[in-house]
Every structure is written in C-alpha cells, then in structure tokens.
A and B are shown apart, each in its own frame.
Chain A
Amino acid sequence: MAWGEANEPEHGSLGSRRCAACTTQAVAFALDLEALDVAQSTDVEVRTELLSASLSRESNYGSASFQPVVMQKLRALQLLLREGRTIFFLDTVLNVHVHVHVHVS
C-alpha cells in the first residue's frame, strides 16, 4: 500500500510547499484476487493494473520466489510517479485514515 498525494490543482503541488489544502489518500494495488477482496472492503482507492493470477504467495522477503512480488511493488511506485503523485510508501501495518492537512504560508 502506498500513500499517494491528491492535491487540489488550484493550490499547486505538494512539492511546491504552497498547497493550502492537500488530501492524502491511500492507494492499494491488489496483486491477487484475495488481496482485491480485502482492499475492496476498505475505503482506500483500489488499483488492479498489477493484478495477477500467477503471482507467488511467498511472503519471505529474502526468498527468490518473493522477487516477483517486490518487482510489482516497484512497478506500482513507477505508475504513481508517472501520474505525478507524491508517494509515502510504508512497509508496515498502519491504521488507514484519510488525513486532511491544511498548510498556510
């Protein structure tokens, strides 16, 4: 899961530090159907471009059969960057909330 940053265009990008109101939102790239079910039961944005029927179910980070999984993680980051989103990638268990940040400069 990654946090993409959806900015209100009229206030400029997050990177400009001039955004007056930014809404962060969680984006879940479902990599298999089971993950898709779980992601769709939440209020996060669900993406299916990387969905695969043949992805390994391995969860041991250092193992060879986990390599395709981390490759999909990099593909997800690549997609979000190409869409112009600021990414907060957090490989941990999180509460999923929508945060609203108001910055006045």
Chain B
Amino acid sequence: MLRDFVDDFLMMPMHDVYLQSAEQHFGRANSHCTGVMFLRPTLTALALIEATIEELVKCMATSACTDQEALNAVLLAQEFNVGRLDPADYPGGAQYFGVEPTYSDPLFYNESARAQCNSPPILVHNNWLVGRANKIVRFRLHGLWSISGEKPERPWRHTTEVSSVFREVW
C-alpha cells in the first residue's frame, strides 16, 4: 500500500462493490480479482457475496475452483453493478511487474507494463507469481517490502542480496 486507498474510495463514483482487474491489460476488465475488494454494506454487496458462496459450494463439488472463479461466474450470470478499480492505481502483478509465463521468476520485470501505472500507484497486489519466497524477493527487489513500524527497506539490486533472501525465507 503506497497511498491512502480510503481517500481514493471516497472520491470514486458510488458503487456498492469495487473490484480489482484480473486482466493483464489496463482496459476494461471482464475478469475480476477477489484479492482486492471494496464493499459497501448494502443489500447488493451482501447479495453478491452470498451468491458467490453458493456458487463456490456448487463448483467445489466438481472441481478445484476458486472464490475468484465463483465470483466471476456470478457476475457473468447476474447483473451486478460493480465498479472497477483503475489498474493504473491498483495494479495486479501482471500490470506492475509484467507477465512471466512460469509465474515463478521474481526477477522478471517488464518496464513497459510499469510505465502504464501511476507513480506511485495506490497499492500493488503481489500476484501472478507463485510462492511466498518469490513474493518476498520481488517486493524487496522493488522497494515494496516493509515491516510494520520500520522504514521501508531500500530496493535490493545485487544477486548476493537476492540469494540471501531466498535462503532466509525458504
């Protein structure tokens, strides 16, 4: 979190639900991410969450589906009026770091993707990358890793530092 999302939320057009894009691009999202959600306490928001629970119960019986897939299925089937968080301010890992096909390289970085994000964005979702250690390394490399009450660490740039982080978190 790099800027105040509550202030931003108060300036947004009124929607019961705001969702982060799950797309790689910065255009209008057809797929939404359940990792960043802003919900107002309305009947519409409650109905969406309860429909998602029902959908997850149904799909759990037959597959390893996720809450995100369940929510997107509900959004597709029903006409919920959801707001979309601007990826330039609320980027996922694909938009802030770029897409690496194996989802396992924390060193991967695509400058042209980053250039489309605001600087700084409001928050960065450390997804599109598998593994706790990988996520910590990537945040440290980009100066986004901080421990509560301490100053953010400087970005890590040297191979030896990256190696030591892997040893530390694995």
Contacts and interface: CB of A to CB of B under 8 A. Distances in A.
B49 A101 contact: no
Contacts of A62: 64, 66
A101 B6 contact: yes
Interface in A64-100: 64, 66-67, 70-71, 73-75, 77-78, 80-97, 99
A54 interface: no
A89 B66 contact: no
B123 interface: yes
B147 to A, nearest CB: 8
Given A62-B64, A78-B53, A93-B126, A88 B41 contact: no
B158 interface: no
Interface in A31-89: 59-64, 66-67, 70-71, 73-75, 77-78, 80-89
Contacts of A93: 126, 135, 139, 145
Taking each of B14, B41, B130, which has the highest tally of chain A beta carbons within 10 Å of its own beta carbon? Answer: B41
Contacts of A80: 41
A73 B67 contact: yes
B16 to A, nearest CB: 9
Interface stretch (B30-38, B76-84, B111-119): B30-38
B125 interface: yes
Contacts of A74: 49, 52-53, 56, 67
30 contacts: A15-B41, A17-B10, A60-B130, A64-B60, A64-B63, A64-B64, A67-B60, A67-B64, A67-B66, A74-B49, A74-B67, A77-B39, A78-B49, A78-B50, A78-B53, A85-B41, A87-B37, A88-B5, A89-B34, A89-B37, A90-B1, A90-B5, A90-B36, A92-B36, A92-B123, A92-B126, A95-B147, A99-B4, A99-B6, A101-B7
Interface of B: 1, 4-7, 9-10, 14, 34-42, 45-46, 49-50, 52-53, 56-57, 60, 63-67, 123-127, 130, 132, 135, 139, 145-149
